[in-house]
Structure 1
């Protein structure tokens, strides 16, 4: 069941008017689950009556009828009330889910992302300022944290801001817009940038004193639309709507088709329209290869900007996800004393300061102990036997069913201490996607496939790239590729194989993408990739097919030796287009997929996160593929 939420704009200390209305609405049309305040909660002026009215609720003499989360943390009385809330021992540390101020009132401080009644909620609290220590403002750290969250998987359901984004009216139909909308302050360009990156399903803002629900607009690189809602001030004299009800189904439980439905009145992104029209230049300074978005926590006692002191700052992207896309190029620290990345669940006070004042009362981890897994699969062992306790091949299976003997050798498949999505030994692996397993490689259905039959060929050993595999493994890789070519050829398709590799300090697990395309499209693949490369400012090196697979592989290795990373794509006729990344050069994370999505007319599927299926759908797809591929599978037929 979809959660039921209420939205309100500026409260300005009018707690009686707000909560009386909320109680009435909740009784008549509820029950509602939560109230989100996106305007200024506290009074504008030092009015004794307004302050006393507010304190009756803060001190518990009057009841707040619904759990209420607010981001408008500025105004008269805010400093004293919020400072007192921060001093509570239970409110110390990194609390993105809200700091309790009193019963049913929660302060969303700075910026963050958390789950509320199944909804993924991101927020940016307050107004812009360069001084993050002030109450009611956000700073670069808060913005950079949201940029890092934008790189995480999953769709943001709600994005809450006080300020409106710059350009939200661009391309909109203003015929039915409320009076006064032409007098808007102009909005904030930084928030426009964040919305473009986060791509929330709903962007909700206050502080302009106007209720405005814009037509939904499409997002670049995402299949779902965004709906902007601005909410008016409580008790405003223009009788504009200051309470708005919403009941969105969480994206995490929606099907891909439901999530990608485009309403008839949808428009293009207002930010793209604004850019094309030449309006609203971005006023935020964007240094070349900006470092700011990669850090938030400073491990030194005093923060120093720029220069050689960057190494004293922790990389936020590394802390939040366990890896950083810039690898060795990142100027910020990827390690504490033991060189181990810290994933979610760790105490950020402990990480950033080296100590936590809550000690044993802290609910977050202060060490990396206990992070290992006792359930790793020994090298050479049967994956099916390990996963299910049995193997249908029985004595004919070429792999070991004696797991204990393998464990005693200590020769585990995963060579990294960190959980990896692709290591067969990892608790994070989606084993239901695996369709074939060899000695050096295995094959799995791609998560969020571009098209039906989109698969990955993945090394069993944890290695960063396919070119780093030992020579004796190459034959098995070629066997998989040739088998997939024959399999898809029977269906009237060619295959495109590509790999994107970055030289990261924390190595990723290599995987080759294999995408079937209609034979009629095969001749256009080369020009499509060459054109896409030119748009990014580079030209591919062309490797013609050698007399055999080994010759082609040697040519590829020679070309791509060294460097910051590479991208290569193998065309249907065997030609390889390859590009070695230069120092500091960036390549879109899903470059290969985006090019093929454009070629196939499936641009809405260019991001795998927008194509996710349920586990039941994935399992069914994998089983179907496994059954049809069985007669071609080199691990069975060999």
Structure 2
């Protein structure tokens, strides 16, 4: 069975349902079966009488079809069903904005309709706000410390800048261009970006997305504008593609260049805007006093107060601290996951934890790896490790600590409790998994300092085992991102292989709140930061 999804995409239908579904049926018989049909433009038109036959069942929709929000105020009355419900059998209304992951794992982000800010007026169901852009972006990012991009972005408006290409000139009405869509596209890095065109078909040369980090290479985007269904000029209005989900692709495939590839057409300053049209500034990264019980009044990521510390540079080696998901000074951090805050480090619940007491140790300020962290950070990390070992001991569990300094901008030390009786097996499982992945694993003696075996800027995987042994892998061009989780979720250890990929075991916000509250309560007798904070008061 193929792990790729066969997808059809069409432009404005405008009520030409028979033309659309007859063509889809022909394509499906000849080149299918196709899994989904996505209608990226106006589904309804001035005359929608052809839909009656599909509503009564005398005609059938040949492929599961997804329709998005209206961009014409006259069409609002036709959307008489809730989001996620069928307009007619096998045609589902998806709403104005969101992210939809298909059964094959293909991730589709969408924000349809017109911009209220750029249109100058609000039309219910038709217009969107800058906050809608942020919501879609945040939905794409949620639960992902290693964001690769999305498979597809569907918008009604064209992103500003996409039309300005020296090799391919295209005329686009000014009102169909949007800075907000450009902001969204540069942030979520779609492999395909589909929009409707009022007349001509347009496929731009693929462009390479920009990265927050100079050393990283991002995926490329293919931008495609589809003509209206059944147009008289016979411009292309339907597009077929076979997609392997971005989450299942090897990095070498994802980053492969093409001969016609161009630079990103969008203003690079858009990457610095945490919210559309607003550059969020951060001052200093000294000691942060973090109110973990405060509410998110604005519905966005939590804001925090800084007390003391010296002013420091906003960016370090090209890293924008506004965009880092783990700096406590960043607007992007999800404060409800924070469990305990020390002077230089903090504990937080990871997304998709392997166990209820799986936790992350992270530096408060921005440090890429422990090999680049100052002494005071390293010392406090060791204090947190000892506290966690003591915390797990009454549960008859021992701790495995591991860090992956590969495609990660902010240091994260994973701490996973495992049953004490499996301590002696862990090294063997690590060695087996390394062999399967053709990785050269080195066993380090107890008490070895990782900084003795690698250079500060070199990528690596490092783990400390309950036996005192340490393992070290010098990562090369490719390293399996879930390597540590693959080992610990295996049957000999935690026996939860369904949780090897954190994306498959994400918790709801309510469940995350419950996990954090329980961890804090039980960890309090072992938490040295509680005593220090009370002393400082």
Residue 73 of structure 1 is matched in structure 2 by 70
1:135-150 alignment to 2 at 5 Å?
135-150=125-140
In structure 1, how many angstroms separate the alpha carbons of the residues matched to 2:51 and 2:42? 13
Unaligned stretches of 5+ in structure 2?
A: 212-216, 283-293, 304-323, 341-347, 360-388, 402-411, 461-471, 488-537
> Kindly tell me: are residues 137 and 342 of structure 1, through their superposed partners in 2, closer, same or farther at Cα, counting changes over 3 Å?
farther
Residue by residue over 1:267-297, the C-alpha shift from the partner in whole angstroms, topping out at 9 and shown as x without a partner, is 1112259x89xxxxx9x97334289xxxxxx
Counterpart selection for 1:613 from 456, 468, 480: 480
The Cα offsets for residues 402-426 of structure 1, whole Å up to 9 and x where unpaired, read as: x9x97655777599xxxx9812228
Question: What is the match of residue 194 of structure 1?
Answer: 184
Residue number among 14, 17, 20 corresponding to 1:15 in the alignment: 17
Contact 1:126 1:137 in 2 (8 A): yes
Q: Deviations over 1:566-610 (max 9, x none)?
A: xxxxxxxxxxxxxxxxxxxxxxxxxxxxxxxxxxxx9xx8xxxxx
Q: CA 1:496–1:217 in structure 2 vs 1: closer, same or farther (change >3 Å)?
A: closer
User: In structure 2, what is the equivalent of residue 388 of structure 1?
Assistant: none
Secondary structure (helix, strand or coil) at the match of 1:146 reads: helix
SS of the counterpart of 1:159?
strand
Cα distance per residue 1:528-587 (max 9 Å; x no partner): xxxxxxxxxxxxxxxxxxxxxxxxxxxxxxxxxxxxxxxxxxxxxxxxxxxxxxxxxxxx
Select 1:36's aligned residue among 35, 38, 41: 38
Aligned residue number for residue 107 of structure 2: 120
CA contact (8 A) 1:165 1:187 kept: yes
* Partner in structure 2 of residue 352 of structure 1: none
Determine helix, strand or coil for the equivalent of 2:67. strand
CA RMSD of aligned residues (A): 5.2
Within the candidate set 165, 170, 173, 2:164 is matched to 170
If the length of structure 1 is used for normalisation, what is the TM-score?
0.48
| Cα distance, 1:234 vs structure 2 | 0.8
Structure 1 residues 213 and 249: alpha-carbon distance in aligned structure 2, compared to 1, 3 A threshold: same
Q: Is residue 3–residue 249 contact of structure 1 (8 Å, CA) maintained in 2?
A: yes
Shift of 1:224: 2.2
The one of 252, 256, 271 equivalent to 1:257 is: 252
* Shift of residue 22, structure 1, vs aligned partner: 1.4
Give CA-to-partner distance per residue, 1:501-542, whole Å, 9 cap, x none.
xxxxxxxxxxxxx9979xxxxxxxxxxxxxxxxxxxxxxxxx
Partner of 1:315: 300
Among 235, 257, 267, the alignment partner of 1:240 is: 235
Contact 2:208 2:261 in 1 (8 A): yes
**How many angstroms does 1:171 deviate by?**
3.1
The CA distance in 1 between the partners of 2:65 and 2:413, in whole Å, is 37
Per the alignment, in what secondary structure is the counterpart of residue 150 of structure 2?
coil
The 2-side partners of 1:290 and 1:109 are apart by 34
Query: What stretches of structure 1 of length at least 5 have no aligned partner?
Result: 92-97, 277-281, 292-308, 346-370, 378-402, 458-474, 486-493, 500-513, 518-601, 606-610, 621-638
**C-alpha distance in 1, partners of 2:418/2:128?**
38
Q: Which residue pairs with 2:81 in the alignment?
A: 85
Question: Which has the larger Rg?
Answer: 1
TM-score w.r.t. length of structure 2: 0.56
Deviations 1:371-393 (Å, cap 9, x if unpaired)? 9957989xxxxxxxxxxxxxxxx
The alpha-carbon distance between structure 1 residues 483 and 421, as it changes in their structure 2 partners (threshold 3 A), is: closer
Q: 2:87 aligns with which of 93, 101, 105?
A: 101
CA distance in 2, matches of 1:333, 1:344: 10
